[in-house]
Amino acid sequence: MRALEVRNGAVRFIPAYPRPEPQPDEALIRVRLAGICNTDLEIVRGYAGFTGVPGHEFVGEVVACPARPDLIGRRVVGEINCACFNCPACRANRPTHCERRQVLGIVNHDGAFADYLVLPMVNLHPIPDDLPDELAAFVEPVAAAFEMLEQVHVRPTDRIAVLGDGKLGLLCAQVLALVGGAVTVVGRHEEKLALAARWGLETHMAPSYSSIEASSAHDVHAIGGPWDVVVEASGSAAGLAYAAAMVRPRGTIILKSTVADHSTVAMAPVVVNEQTIVGSRCGPFPPAIRALTRGSVRVHELITARYPLEQGAAAFARAAMPGVLKVQLAIAG
């Protein structure tokens, strides 16, 4: 099969890559469309030490499923964590934190930037016929945004800021707005902030994410803070320090960025201000599918470009450019 491979910090198109074979509890999926996210860009820079086929945001068609032949021919999306269901974490109903988990396109499992992938059938979610591929490919990141509501009690009266106006930040802002709270997007790109403003969100232009200090109350007030809840989705190693400066005492910081660079944060102010820091990763697929089908989370405007798989290296280069939002790979269909 055709595939993109990440190796030694580079993305290469491989015209004859080994096609995976499904185990009895797995499905073979022909990938139709896949999206490049910031984690994929960080993998090229060395995040997670991954070598192989990246990609975890996809929509595809089941072509083989030994245990569920009724799924053959169905369009599906898939959760990315492949759990063992035997370790202590799995037995405690925490399969996304399985001690032996593989993660699609991220940890020991080839991903979606190829003609075919395999996933456990329990990971699959059929999608409605009226949800087109270009929207269905957003299910995984929208689910990640909904995970925040699983972890943190966000009140309609809360003042919420999303730090970062990239793909994930704009999705998080839309999902949080569904709760009814006042949501502000703090970013560094006028065109992205203008998009958030068209959706009815308040926006503020931020200086460099590394320029604000936790003691700089003046700078925080200048951009509308402090806030009750701050979502860190800047994609910057300096984002946590910035978010800690933005949130009020006893407020909550939700971390969404995954970056290869190491972060240095002065933790004493976090202790003194009794701030809560919550790491947030993968989330529930059903509400994401419903939100995209109903149009309550808008993603059409986030699509910047679409490339064929053979031009994967160019697609990655485009996705890494400043101001670019979602770049998709058209693989089949």
- The domains of the chain are located at 3-138+299-330, 144-279
226 prior amide bond cis, ω within 30: yes
What is the band of 25 on the pLDDT scale with cuts at 50, 70, 90?
A: very high
Q: What are phi and psi of 60, to 5 degrees?
A: -150, -175
Q: Is 303 exposed, middle or buried (0-12, 13-18, 19+ CB in 10 A)?
A: middle
Give the pLDDT score at 214: 47
Say yes or no to pLDDT of 328 above 90.
Answer: yes
Residue corresponding to tokens 């699609």: 104
Q: What is the mean pLDDT of residues 17-33?
A: 96
Q: Do strands 26-36 and 116-120 pair parallel, antiparallel, or not at all (unpaired)?
A: antiparallel
Architecture per CATH, 144-279: 3-Layer(aba) Sandwich (3.40)
Give the pLDDT score at 14: 97
Q: Shortest CA distance to 71 belongs to which of 141, 3, 22?
A: 22
> Residue 241 and residue 212: Cα distance in Å, rounded?
8
Is 3-138+299-330 assigned to CATH 3.30.465.10?
A: no
> Residue 186 and residue 183: Cα distance in Å, rounded?
10
